Amino acid sequence: MGPSMFSSSLKTTIGVVAILFSSALPVYAEDTPEPDIQSEIARLEKRLNDQEKLVEEQQRQLESQADEIYRQQKMIESLTRQRAKKLPPKIEKPKPQSTVMGMRGRGDPPSQVYAPMPMRDRDEDVEEARPQVEAIANQGGILSPKGRLTFENTIEYTNTSRNLFAFNGVELAQVVLVGGITAEATTHHIVQETGRLRLGLTDRLEADVHVPFVYRNDAITESATTAGTISTTREGYNLGDIDAGLAYQINDGKEGWPFFIGNLRYKANNADGPFDVPYDTNNIAKRLPTGTGFQTVEASMTAIKVSDPVVLFGNLGYVYDIPRIIGKDFNGTHIGRVKPGDAINMLAGMAFAINQDISFSLGYKHSYVFPTTQRVNGVNRTGDTSQVGSLTMGISYALTPTTSLNANLEAGVTNDAPDIHLVFRVPFMIGDFF
């Protein structure tokens, strides 16, 4: 074989091998994946898992922020409601000023407990916390801010029972009585509905007026050994005595001092009193009076001390009844000048907020009533003193930002006090006028 033929054969062989190799190379590339692709897939899967974990964490954070936003919204609603009632998120307190009228025909008129609005200078950064617990229902609320008019509707019920046992005869032994025995049981019912308007003249001074409508019912049962049992019922209903008052906040309650509030009230004698109603031949009133028959002036001082979460309150006042010359004859008995006994009123207690809407109070009030003097048939006669003491318990519930429901219970603990005195009061803010 010559060199030329050998060279030609070698070229042919090399070409065939080259063709076969080139055709086999794509098949090898398709059937055998590159190692870099597998690692890229693993990296992307890890990154995707990391992104999913991040999304879950962000979702938890969004849910936590949503809960915080909801909590803040509830807080804003609560603060808005208290701002509308002029009640900062503290507790509220009472102040008492009650006239003792239960012994004179219309029951204790509603006493009020005012809590003050602390004043501050324009350059102060912190304002003293105002106590707020409107819990003793017939003992008011807070002093109204300047220009605010509030209407309160109050319904009161008073129940008083008295038992009298009399013996006229001879006692032969400690357990043997010979003679006449008389027993008398009297139950007094008084229902009173009162409309009250309160107006803030300034941020420290408030004026108010009460207009009551009174219904009275007395049930008397007499039992005697000679005459048997006799039951009688008397009643009376009409407008009661109208009264008005002023309350002034004296200080700001700073540096550990209590809030002090001065109160002054005047009660008219526009309604029929005991000497203005008709009597029968036995000197028994044909209808019951709805007023006391006398004008009354009362001055009192209230102290309110905040000691979180409790508000302590106390009141000391003096009631002066203006004397009156009756100048009337009742079945041969002439009644001249009558001076009802004055009274010293005292009240102390504590109040606290259960939550943003409910507050509760406990207290005790006591009145010492001086003797009544009257001139009968030209002779001066003096009555007895009276001790009127009651335990008080009250609760208040905020119905809306401008309206609340207050209930109060007083239970008599002395012989001269009414057995039960219930009060339901609903104050409603009319608006701010100046």
Over residues 155-173, the pLDDT tens digits come to 999 999 987 655 444 444 4
The DSSP code for 142 is: B
- Specify the pLDDT at position 57: 87
pLDDT in tens, 234-293: 999 999 999 999 999 998 888 889 999 999 999 999 999 999 999 888 778 889 999 999
Q: What is the mean pLDDT of the chain?
A: 78
pLDDT in tens, 105-146: 333 333 333 333 333 333 333 334 445 445 433 333 468 889
pLDDT range class, residue 306, cuts 50, 70, 90: confident
Q: Which residue has the higher pLDDT, 311 or 20?
A: 311
- Specify the pLDDT at position 416: 92
Averaged pLDDT, 29-37? 57
Say whether pLDDT at 311 is over 50. Answer: yes
Given a contact cutoff of 8 angstroms between Cβ atoms, the answer to whether 241 and 213 are in contact is no
Please count the other Cβ atoms lying within 10 Å of the Cβ belonging to residue 33: 9
| CATH superfamily of the 95-432 domain | monomeric porin ompg (2.40.160.40)
- Specify the pLDDT at position 87: 43
- Specify the pLDDT at position 182: 59
- Specify the pLDDT at position 235: 94
Say whether pLDDT at 39 is over 80. Answer: yes
- Cβ-Cβ contacts under 8 Å for 283 (sequence gap 6 or more): 330, 331, 333
CA separation (Å) from 158 to 51, 355, 380, 420? Answer: 74, 30, 32, 6
For residue 47, what are the β-bridge partners? Answer: none
- Specify the pLDDT at position 142: 62
Smallest CA-to-CA distance from 207 within 98, 112, 286, 135 is with: 112
Q: Where are the beta strands (DSSP E) in 174-240?
A: 176-200, 205-224, 228-239
- Out of 58-67, 74-83, 178-187, 198-207, the most confident range is 198-207
Given a contact cutoff of 8 angstroms between Cβ atoms, the answer to whether 383 and 341 are in contact is yes
For residue 263, what are the β-bridge partners? Answer: 247, 300
- Specify the pLDDT at position 337: 95
Smallest CA-to-CA distance from 298 within 349, 366, 243 is with: 243
- 279 HSE (CA, 13 A, CB side): 14
Given a contact cutoff of 8 angstroms between Cβ atoms, the answer to whether 190 and 216 are in contact is yes
Say whether pLDDT at 325 is over 90. Answer: yes
- Specify the pLDDT at position 66: 83
Helix (H, G, I), strand (E, B) or coil at 309: coil
